[in-house]
Structure 1
Amino acid sequence: MSYSARLVASALASTIGVLSMSGAAMADMLKAIGDGEGEVAIVAWPGYIERGESDKNYDWVTDFEKETGCKVTVKTAGSSDEMVSLMNGGGFDLVTASGDASLRLIKGGTVQEINTALIPGYDNIDPKLQSAPWHTVDGKHYGVPWQWGPNVLMYNQKVFENAPQSWSVVFEPQKLPDGKSNKGRVEAYYGPIYIADAALYLMSHKPELGIKDPYELTQPQFDAAVELLRGQRQLVTKYWSDAAAQVDDFTSEGVVASTSWPYQVNTLRSAGKVNIGMTIPQEGATGWADTTMMHSDAPHPNCAYKWLAHSLSPKTQAGVAAWFGSVPAVPAACKEEIIGEVGCRNNGSQLFNLIHFWKTPTKECGSGSDACVPYKDWVAAYQSIQSGQ
């Protein structure tokens, strides 16, 4: 069994346990920040914690270490399931969790409530994010908003002279503008949450299914999305969960279209080896609003709080957004020279209300019924897609 397959299997086991819990005991919030412990250990998406090693112009770690004496160590993760698994294993202080992981971490008691009074910049967060449902439960905040953005369609501009107008280029068999088939030339994201991308596509192309929210699917709606992904499997040359690996695939493996993050787009453009474009097709896009959350048993809580405060400085927020291609959680960051208002708009700052942000699927539907398919079934179905069953 491959590492990715083992990860999905592990996620299934942990999800069944986590979502069936009423919630574990939470650690007491810190009442005051004391001397740092000398280290802060973070689980993060690739490109989220940079110290200038990739590009000396992008470094929001070195000054923090000098000012606080807290050395930053990072473990990158390629999926939300991997983040949940790593945090459940312990030993980390913080995680930059997306919405499809954050509620699992809260309900499982893995992360603790944050004392926002100890974070001076909290009031500067975009009001749309300050009490967002993916990190706020019963009025309690379990994290600090970090960055957000859409899952984009990345494409090779030598194949697509004009931006693709539909996600059909990765979901349906067809000839591409260069006259060749898309079979074996597209990639898809590796993770159960990708079922939502299929559901979003079906919202436009099979309106008779009545899908209103790609994360709240009745059994017939869910089955249709899974069936679309089973068909897509015949087109996909590879499923990606590693951002760096996807960059290599577009550079040397003949991949010409895939769901992706702005981070990969920026990396490929800076390398200059492939003419890369990105777009949000007419069906819209899923997306991520990430929150820095603190482990209930964080080994370095004082350094962790110092990082949380540092994470909200406009300079830090702007640097991350410019490097990753995301949108800052702090609007003032868009006035920083490294990104500017134009850069924030190019990264999608105007798209917030159009993005279907990742969230953990549960049996509860927005209508108040319990007829929706829970995440444990998403994991099991996705595993069956991958195994060809």
Structure 2
Amino acid sequence: MKNVTTRLAVSLGSLLLVGAAQAQENRLYLFNWTEYMDPEIIEAFEEKYDVEVVQNYFNSLPEMFAKLNAGGVSQYDIIVPSNYYIPRLIETGLVQKLDKPKLSNLGNVMEQFQNPSYDPDSEYSAPYQWGTTGIIYNTETFPEAPKSWSLLFDPEVNPSHPFALMGDGQVSMGSACAYLGHGYDCTDMSGWREAAQLLIDTKGRDNFSGFVDGTPALQQLARGVAHVGLSYNGDYLFFKEEDPETFETIDFMLPDEGAEMWVDAMLIPSEAPNPDMAHKFIDFILDAEIGAQLSNYNYYASPNAAAEPHLDKVLTQPPVQPSEEDMERLRFTPSLSGDQLQNFQQLWSEVQAR
């Protein structure tokens, strides 16, 4: 009986392993920002590769990073972080190098995104979309709003109307740095300390409504819960096109003191269940027509040079394509590591705690 039981256990174990392998081959787990993928693209990919795409969502990069560290590194096949988190993901071993021979469409990427500072030689990442982070505000409340971060940080400009800051510490700190004249991409301790104090003072105002990330901030403005916040240019245009009546009185601006330009990229976690299918997905998104379809759906700029002839006209003008003047003032959020990251996290913890 013992031998029979052992053989039965081995057989059942083999069947379970085969079943698990088949489940991985037939599924792709995508961890992405909310409202950031055309459902028709997912359907087309599922049909082409006879696979089921399971989508999960995050609203901020700290949320994504925390989930990966809590076991998500073995639960997702594709993640879509922003540029300044990519070095952190690489250094902590949470992502794997791309197998470039599997990416036939990699050559479609614009030259400016082919050897980025956040991932030299694009060893780990392929660009997904790019855009900007700016101020969203109610134009009826602020008919003569200054093109400035003062709409958030100066109590004389906004003495009483509810406003929110972004929950991503580096974005909020960068905004404060820019307002204070240190530049959005400030990384020196003296500038950070001054920015942190400004954020603490700003939090103490009666009309501060909290830390709210991009898409929820737009929803708050639509409901009238807040009158000023931070969001992304593509999210803003997406909501405005979907519901022009509600968003008629909401506008987006890039402050003259400087603001964020970002790139979101596709990476494969180090323990992804289905890395082969993940490469197929990345290559699918890098296709010229699919890349254009993605941007035409979510209203963000495409890093895909081959997609340009297929883009809608609205994607070639502000707010998706910033003006030349605004482009000159845009900066990447800096990538932090080591003591610099530790110092920043300590300051940001103080901001949140007070």
TM-score scaled by length of structure 1: 0.76
Whole-angstrom distance in 2 between the partners of 1:161 and 1:108 = 47
Q: Is the 8 A contact 1:143 1:292 kept in 2?
A: yes
- Select which of 182, 188, 192 maps to 2:169: 192
Question: Does the aligned pair in 1 maintain the 2:127–2:265 contact within 8 Å?
Answer: yes
What is the Cα-based RMSD across aligned positions, in Å? 2.2
Q: Partner of 1:127 in structure 2?
A: 111
**Residue in 1 that maps onto 2:291:** 317
1:102 aligned residue: 86
Return the offset for 1:357.
1.4
Amino acid at match of 2:348: Y
Among 232, 235, 257, the alignment partner of 1:261 is 232
Further displaced range: 344-353 or 246-255: 344-353
Secondary structure in 1 matching 2:31:
strand
1:85 aligns with 2:66: yes
Whether 1:61 aligns to 2:39 is no
Aligned to 2:9: none
The 1:92–1:168 alpha-carbon spacing in structure 2 relative to 1, beyond 3 Å, is: same
Q: 2: distance between equivalents of 1:140 and 1:320?
A: 21
Q: After alignment, is 40-49 or 104-113 more displaced?
A: 40-49
- Cα deviation, 1:283-341, whole Å, max 9, x if unaligned, reads 1211321110111111111110110001112233223323333210103323215x23x
CA distance in 1: counterparts of 2:295 and 2:328, whole angstroms: 19
Q: Deviations over 1:138-188 (max 9, x none)?
A: x46111111111102111122233553111010110245xxxx3x352111
**3-state SS of 1:190 partner:** coil
Is it true that 1:241 corresponds to 2:201 in the alignment? no
Q: Is the 8 A contact 1:216 1:362 kept in 2?
A: no
Decide whether the 8 Å contact of 1:42 with 1:93 is kept in 2. Answer: yes
Please say which structure displays the higher CA radius of gyration. Answer: 2
- Answering whether residue 246 of structure 2 is matched by residue 273 of structure 1, we say yes
Secondary structure of residue in 2 paired with 1:100: helix
Counterpart amino acid of residue 344 in structure 2: W
Q: Does residue 142 of structure 1 match 2:124?
A: yes
CA change 1:352–1:92 in 2 (3 A) is farther
Counterpart-to-counterpart distance in 1, 2:327 and 2:96: 27
In structure 1, how many angstroms separate the alpha carbons of the residues matched to 2:306 and 2:335?
A: 30
Q: Establish whether residue 40 from structure 1 lines up as the match of residue 28 from structure 2.
A: yes
The answer to whether structure 1 residue 289 and structure 2 residue 263 are counterparts is yes
1:215–1:360 distance in 2 versus 1, CA, 3 Å: farther
Once the two structures are overlaid, the 10-residue window that deviates more, 301-310 or 225-234, is 225-234
How far 1:374 sits from its partner (Å)? 1.4
Task: Give how far 1:215 is off.
Answer: 4.3
Tell me, yes or no, if the aligned pair for 2:88 and 2:336 is still in contact at 8 Å. Answer: no
Matching residue within 345, 351, 354 for 1:385: 351
Report the AA paired with residue 231 of structure 2. S
User: Are the aligned partners of 1:197 and 1:214 in contact in 2 as well (CA < 8 Å)?
Assistant: no
Please tell me the residue identity of whatever aligns with 2:316.
C
Separation in structure 1 between the aligned mates of residue 262 and residue 209 of structure 2, nearest angstrom: 25
> In 1, are the aligned partners of 2:80 and 2:266 still within 8 Å (CA)?
yes
Aligned residue pairs, count: 319
Q: Deviations over 1:37-77 (max 9, x none)?
A: 111111111122231xxxxxxx2111111001122111111
Distance 1:241 1:213, change over 3 A: closer
* Alpha-carbon distance in structure 2 between the residues aligned to 1:316 and 1:201: 39
Amino acid in structure 1 at the alignment position of 2:164:
E
Listed one character per residue, the Cα deviations across residues 186-233 of structure 1 (whole Å, up to 9, x for unaligned) are 111012212122112222xxxxxxx4662422x211111101111111
Give yes or no for contact 1:163–1:277 (8 Å, CA) kept in 2. no
The code of the aligned residue for 1:93 comes to D
SS in 2 for 1:374: helix
